[in-house]
Amino acid sequence: MSRLTVLLSFLLWPLIAFGQSEEEDIFVEANILGIFYHELGHAVIDIEQLPIFAQEEDAADVFSIYLIDTLYEEESALALAYEASLGFLAEADLREQAAEEVAWWDTHGPDEQRFFNTVCIFYGASPETREDFATDMGLPEERSEYCPDEFWQADDSWGYTLDEMIERGSGETLVFKAPDESLTSEILTHEVAQLNNEMQLREPLEITVESCGQANAFYDPQEVKVIFCTEFEGHLRDLFRSLE
Ligand SMILES: [Zn+2]
């Protein structure tokens, strides 16, 4: 793994108070980052022309938690991993409360499975130091024994690509357009600057925050663009409140 010039820190950010509590803002900020990294995973697969041997959605989830483990110092990485994993559980709870069935046909795995996959990769990256994390998240031993191997598989595939991106040095290939005054824009402005400082993609990638009529974020391969819907932030706040 190529060394980054600095490991990022999440908790040391001057937190911007937008919501009802600090805990809520931490949850929302962590999940905006986790989702952004997932979409960035789709963009990297497309731009770097990576072969994918299973569901691309699963690969993008792995990229997201792999990036959290790689880019951040331990305390921040742990905080992000807790909140982003809980985001999947909250989605599952919300669906259960609404008595919605699991959409087995969906390209995304069921939220409970995305939760355990995320927890497993993060735990597997450092099982000696992340035992408490695995226990807190209820990761059963039947799964946890395979997690170090699952992490090394992720490291073998994503690590190589990330190394190449880092070896290109700093640049301006992530282009954040038309940020508004939202928390999402604040976070992505900060994040895009940090990533540009450390790496480059083969082609520029545009990132926008715009209203789409639904709480979503996606990568558009035709436009080579990540769109983060303004509606997502409110949805994340609802999710946090559903956890209480
Ligand atoms: Zn996706």
Question: Is residue 69 in some structural domain?
Answer: yes
In this predicted model, what pLDDT tens digit does every residue of 102-119 receive, in sequence order?
A: 778 888 888 999 999 999
Question: Is residue 28 in some structural domain?
Answer: yes
Measured between alpha carbons, how far is 213 from 14 in angstroms, rounded to an integer?
30
How many structural domains does the chain have?
1
Question: Is residue 14 in some structural domain?
Answer: no
Question: Is residue 76 in some structural domain?
Answer: yes
Give me the residue label for tokens 């087995």.
104
In the DSSP assignment, the letter for residue 135 is H
Question: Is residue 12 in some structural domain?
Answer: no
CA-based R_g, the chain, Å: 17
| Cα 44 to averaged position of ligand 1 atoms, centre (Å) | 12
In this predicted model, what pLDDT tens digit does every residue of 149-208 receive, in sequence order?
A: 999 999 999 999 999 999 999 999 999 986 788 889 989 999 999 999 999 999 999 999
Domain coverage including residue 219: 22-243
Measured between alpha carbons, how far is 31 from 9 in angstroms, rounded to an integer?
15
Question: Is residue 1 in some structural domain?
Answer: no
| Cα 205 to averaged position of ligand 1 atoms, centre (Å) | 16
Question: Is residue 11 in some structural domain?
Answer: no
Question: Is residue 92 in some structural domain?
Answer: yes
**pTM recorded for the entire structure:** 0.93
| Cα 150 to averaged position of ligand 1 atoms, centre (Å) | 20
